[in-house]
Structure 1
Amino acid sequence: MSLVRSAGLQKFRQSVEALGGDPEVYARRAGLPVDALDSDELLVEDSALAAVLEIAAADLGCPDLGLRVGRAQDFGMLGPLAVAIQHSPSVADALACTSRYMFVHARDLSVALVEDPDGSHGVVGLRYSFSAGKRPLPQATDMTMLFLHRAVEFLVGGRYGLRSVDLPHQPAAPRSRYEDAFGARVRFGRDAALLRVPSSLLSRPLDGVDETLRRLALAFLSQQSSEARPLVTAKVRTVLDQSLGTGSTELVDVARALAVHPRTLQRQLAAEGESFASVLDSVRRARARTYLTTTDMPLSQVSDLIGFAEQGVLSRCAQRWWGRTPSALRQEARSRARPRA
């Protein structure tokens, strides 16, 4: 299993809702936690992220969904990595930083400079790839490649001489939609996903560089490790998700299930910027939303199933989670589900 930050789904909800779809339905079908649609920091399976794009594109009859989401995404979704990239001295430095620290965003995703596959003088390839021998599904590839293209435009302040775009799959949407999105020729069925760019681009300096911000971002990134990503949080979430409503969600029992001492588990979560209470709250929030938006069970039963002693606790939490009552959230979901006239 390979994990990516849920930031990769940024703008998925808005893009799907603009097309009249229900992103939460697609998330559940893909095996994604619904909270991943509204948070940048959850760790989700890469296969589920790719699947939700394919499921939504097929259901909505929108073959260019990946392009739509990629066009809407913001460079800042990369978090501290975006800061380090943006404040690099040159494009070459920015790409080196991206290549070195991309694992912070996605463990098995890589961006690297390669020789131009056509052998053209003065042209290099900016290649996107996943784990060895694995190709992402078309919608996810389209989304990521367009985001990568727009990120380069953001860094240099506009067009940068993109020669062409290579994609490993056949076009999911009409070719014209791809070429309108990238502003360049797009070639399909190629060996790798890459942008063919002028080699002179690499020496271009970036404007507005703040060396202090860059050092701070790099200091944070250098403390991360591809072998020590926040997997403990994901494990705790899995145990709690399985136990909620049927077993114990106490710290001591979750620690026992993971074969660690409770204090050790608390320290491990703290090292990942989490606490046991915050993870449990997130799991309860996701489960409550599912029950409230997909079932008609009484609120008292929903409260019991997510481990609350009384219905009033659910109401207070709903105000904190969504800024509305459980009944209001349920009514909104029903309104969206009604067929349009």
Structure 2
Amino acid sequence: MQPLIRTASLRGFSPLVSELGGDPDRLLTRYGIAREVLEGDDGLVSITAHDQMLDAAAAELDCPDFGLRLADRQDLSILGPVARAVRSSSTATEALECAARFLFVHSPALTIGVDDDPWSRRGVIALTYRKQLAESPYSPQAIELGLGLFYRMAVQLLGRRPGLRSVELPHGPLSPVARYLDFFGADIKFDRPVAALCVDHRILDASFATADEEIRLAALQHLTGSYSDPTRSMTGRVRRAVGECLPGRVPPLAEVAASLAIGPRTLQRHLVVEDTTYGRVVDDLRRDRSHRFITTTDLSFTQIADLVGFSEQSTLSHAVRRWFGLSPGELRRRARLSR
């Protein structure tokens, strides 16, 4: 299954597009997102479609800082049920641990974490923001939206600027550097390996005025009881194990079971409980990756066949017809016409 993201991430999208002279309905339709699904925060849309739409809006509206402008219209509340647990945490460390643990509720394709400072500065840490690129292509605007919102959440929770030393972006400048300096108020470093906010490590000990242990425990209980991380399910673990072998041969079930330190029959039983099979997991993974490569890249179909573990292009063609009722060429043409 392709990774999804809650529609809360598009809060403010339609008004912003309209203010810039664009037609939000046309963009939504082009990327297969129903306007009515944006009426609430808890709808789910493809994160690939979500990200491609942000990039398209920025390009068509000649608004290179589109992601940052959208971040300016959002706050911690877009995390929905996760926001309650984060806001009631006692320290920044507790809040980060909670957000990292349950960010899958917002989107399983996104992760945050705490890493060493990439520049080895004394007393500095990196708050990282990542997207699983094996499941969905990179989007500069979506990264700027996410990192900009991450920064705004920190300011909202701390009530002040979070000791920001520098900002790391994996792409080159989309806007004049002055725009980034105005938004973040700190040095910006481009073409970096990972998106991150580099901050004074003492921020981790900062306490929140909104701390409430009773509310936090109730929120955690709700999250634990109501949501399960799809990446930690057996289906998710198998999908990830197979995906890491591509391009290349698809490993047999026994080999994947061994990599997960369980027996083949145990693996099969777990998948049956999750209403799937090993063959179906592999087929779904190939379908999703084939669709992404065909519709979002200019790779040849022979290259795509290799990337998804097919030995011949003809095998890919037969599979694409089975999945989508179209040839690879027709699927690519339709995708390009809709842009």
User: TM-score higher than 0.5 here?
Assistant: yes
Please identify runs of 4+ aligned residues in structure 1 that moved more than 6 A: none
Partner of 1:159: 161
Q: Does 1:17 align with 2:18?
A: yes
- AA of the residue aligned to 1:61: D
Q: Distance in 2 between matches of 1:87 and 1:103?
A: 19
- The alignment of Structure 1 onto Structure 2 pairs a total of residues equal to 229
Q: Percent same amino acid at aligned positions?
A: 38
Q: Distance in 2 between matches of 1:227 and 1:142?
A: 25
SS at match of 2:230: coil
Residue 124 of structure 1, CA deviation = 0.3
Residue 178 of structure 1, CA deviation = 1.2
Q: Distance in 2 between matches of 1:110 and 1:215?
A: 22
Partner of 1:210: 212
Distance 1:228 1:149, change over 3 A: closer
Q: Distance in 2 between matches of 1:63 and 1:227?
A: 34
Please show how residues 47-196 of structure 1 align to structure 2 within 5 Å: 47-131=48-132, 133=134, 136-196=138-198
Residue 101 of structure 1, CA deviation = 0.6
Partner of 1:2: 3
- AA of the residue aligned to 1:78: L
Q: Please, which runs of 5 or more residues in structure 2 have no aligned partner?
A: 233-339
> Greater shift after overlay, 106-115 or 205-214?
205-214
Q: Distance in 1 between matches of 2:218 and 2:15?
A: 32
Residue 18 of structure 1, CA deviation = 1.4
CA contact (8 A) 2:89 2:210 kept: no
- AA of the residue aligned to 1:136: Y
Partner of 1:33: 34
CA contact (8 A) 1:12 1:37 kept: no
Q: Distance in 2 between matches of 1:166 and 1:36?
A: 33
> Greater shift after overlay, 144-153 or 10-19?
10-19
CA contact (8 A) 1:122 1:199 kept: yes
Partner of 2:230: 227
SS at match of 1:76: helix
Residue 16 of structure 1, CA deviation = 1.1
CA contact (8 A) 1:16 1:23 kept: yes
- AA of the residue aligned to 1:54: D
CA contact (8 A) 1:9 1:36 kept: no
CA contact (8 A) 1:30 1:55 kept: no
Q: Distance in 1 between matches of 2:106 and 2:117?
A: 26
What TM-score results when the alignment is normalised by the length of structure 2? 0.65
CA contact (8 A) 2:118 2:126 kept: yes
SS at match of 2:72: helix
Q: Distance in 2 between matches of 1:221 and 1:74?
A: 20
SS at match of 1:110: strand
Residue 215 of structure 1, CA deviation = 1.5
Q: Distance in 1 between matches of 2:71 and 2:137?
A: 18
> Greater shift after overlay, 219-228 or 177-186?
219-228
Q: Distance in 1 between matches of 2:137 and 2:31?
A: 18
